């Protein structure tokens, strides 16, 4: 029996399961920050590759904060690059939007809920996304890491590269701002 | 816990429910791309695992860099300024030619036709000093 090979296969399987468990939420968090689906996908993919390349040997319980730390850095890099690109593009006499029209079949969501309830949730979600987009970026990210991903304060602090006190402050301010904007979210 | 805290906690629960609904309702295209990204990442881990430790010593790793460096050196050698020693082309006057043409002693030696005298002087120098002192020069000797 090839024990090292078996261990490696176990590691690959564990990595695959971990990535599958975070990918959707990571995508949501990246999309909220970047407001662009393809950029968010790129950020998540880069974070996955970086985690596997640099931290796969770490204990699996450390992967989640490390993964979100990488994702956070990637999002910040992309936002900086985008702001530079926008400054340059604003001088050009055309606007390039290569995304084109979305494919309605590819964009179709999985039908797991009654249409009326889905519509209600979609409306709430649209309002929530608008409110989230209006938050300062760090408040937004702390809020999503805590609420959507379920990281605790220490993990969120590690992922964001800040103190636990900052995480608590950002989270409370974000919650209060969203509550003020959205009222009773249904 | 105050009523305000309860209110915020309830709001937080509702927000979480909405966000989870959205995470569940991501489109097929996004799910497919995320799955591909995950597979690529895991395949990367496998490739790194399978990479032998001595890979950096393999010619396949460093050969392209060596070839590139050699090509760059060859380009520099070919494009360097032309400085090798070559015989001057016909019609080109060099500094050596100028020096020969302006050397008066050399010209007198060639144009004077006084070679006989110099042959006699050399012969005298080879004979004894006394004989050299007592004998006459070529003008007297030859008439």
Tally of domains within chain B = 2
Residue B19 included in any domain: yes
Closest chain A residue to B32 measured between Cα atoms?
A: A106
Q: What is the ipTM of this complex?
A: 0.72
Residue among A110, A109, A112, A143 at smallest CA distance from A129:
A143
pLDDT class for B140, splitting at 50, 70, 90?
A: very low
pLDDT at position B142 is 43
Residue B141 included in any domain: no
Q: What is the CA radius of gyration of chain A?
A: 19
Largest CA distance in chain A: 66
A66-101 pLDDT, tens digit per residue, is 999 999 999 999 988 887 877 776 666 555 444 445
Contacts of A182 in chain B (CB under 8 A): 11
Same domain, B28 and B66: yes
Average pLDDT, chain B: 69
Q: Say if the Cβ atoms of B26 and A109 lie within 8 Å.
A: yes
pLDDT at position A22 is 92
What residue numbers bound the domain in which B107 lies? Answer: 95-135
> At residue B55, does pLDDT exceed 60?
no
Same domain, B71 and B102: no
Q: Say if the Cβ atoms of A110 and B48 lie within 8 Å.
A: no
Q: Of A48, A52, A112, which has the smallest distance from its Cβ to B24's Cβ?
A: A112
- What the block records as the tokens of A111 is 């039908």
CA atoms of B102 and B104, how far apart (whole Å) = 6
pLDDT at position A113 is 58
All residues at 6 or more sequence positions from A109 whose CB lies less than 8 Å from its CB, including other chains: A118, B25, B26, B27, B28
Same domain, B110 and B70: no
Domain boundary assignment for chain A? 1-90, 115-186
Rounded to a whole number of angstroms, the distance from the CA of B46 to the nearest CA of chain A is 7
- What the block records as the tokens of A123 is 């409306």
Average pLDDT, chain A: 82
As a whole number, mean pLDDT of residues B23-44 equals 86
Q: Report the CATH number of the A115-186 domain.
A: 1.10.10.10
Residue B140 included in any domain: no
Residue B99 included in any domain: yes
Residue B53 included in any domain: yes
Same domain, B59 and B103: no
Q: Report the CATH number of the A1-90 domain.
A: 1.10.1740
- Are A30 and A40 in contact by the 8 Å Cβ rule? The answer is yes
A127-150 pLDDT, tens digit per residue, is 888 888 889 989 999 998 998 888
Please tell me which residue, B127 or B89, carries the higher pLDDT value: B127
Q: Which of B32, B53, B78 is the last residue of a domain?
A: B78
């Amino acid at each position: 029996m090839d024990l090292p090979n078996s261990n490696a296969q176990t590691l690959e399987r564990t990595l695959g399961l971990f990535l599958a468990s975070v990918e959707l939420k990571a995508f949501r968090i990246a999309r909220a920050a970047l407001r662009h689906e393809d950029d968010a996908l790129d950020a998540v993919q880069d974070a996955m590759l970086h985690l596997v390349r640099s931290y796969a040997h770490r204990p699996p319980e450390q992967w989640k904060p490390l993964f979100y730390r990488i994702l956070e850095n990637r999002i910040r890099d992309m936002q900086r690059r985008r702001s530079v690109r926008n400054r340059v593009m604003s001088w050009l006499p055309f606007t390039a939007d290569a995304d084109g029209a979305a494919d309605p079949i590819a964009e179709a969501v999985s039908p797991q809920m009654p249409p009326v309830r889905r519509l209600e949730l979609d409306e709430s979600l649209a309002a929530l996304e608008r409110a989230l987009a209006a938050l300062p970026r760090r408040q937004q990210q702390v809020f999503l890491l805590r609420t959507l991903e379920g990281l605790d304060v220490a993990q969120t602090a590690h992922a964001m590269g800040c103190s636990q006190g900052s995480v608590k402050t950002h989270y409370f301010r974000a919650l209060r701002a969203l509550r003020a904007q959205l009222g009773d979210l249904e | 816990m105050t009523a305000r805290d309860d209110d915020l906690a309830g709001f937080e629960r509702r927000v979480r429910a909405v966000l989870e609904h959205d995470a569940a309702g991501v489109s097929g295209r996004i799910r497919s791309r995320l799955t591909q990204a995950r597979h690529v990442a895991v395949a990367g881990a496998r490739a790194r695992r399978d990479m032998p430790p001595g890979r950096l010593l393999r010619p396949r790793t460093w050969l392209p860099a060596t070839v590139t460096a050699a090509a760059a050196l060859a380009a520099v050698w070919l494009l360097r300024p032309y400085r090798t020693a070559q015989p001057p082309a016909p019609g080109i006057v060099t500094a050596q030619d100028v020096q020969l043409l302006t050397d008066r002693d050399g010209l007198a030696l060639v144009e004077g036709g006084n070679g006989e005298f110099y042959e006699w002087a050399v012969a005298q120098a080879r004979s004894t000093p006394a004989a050299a002192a007592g004998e006459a020069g070529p003008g007297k000797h030859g008439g």
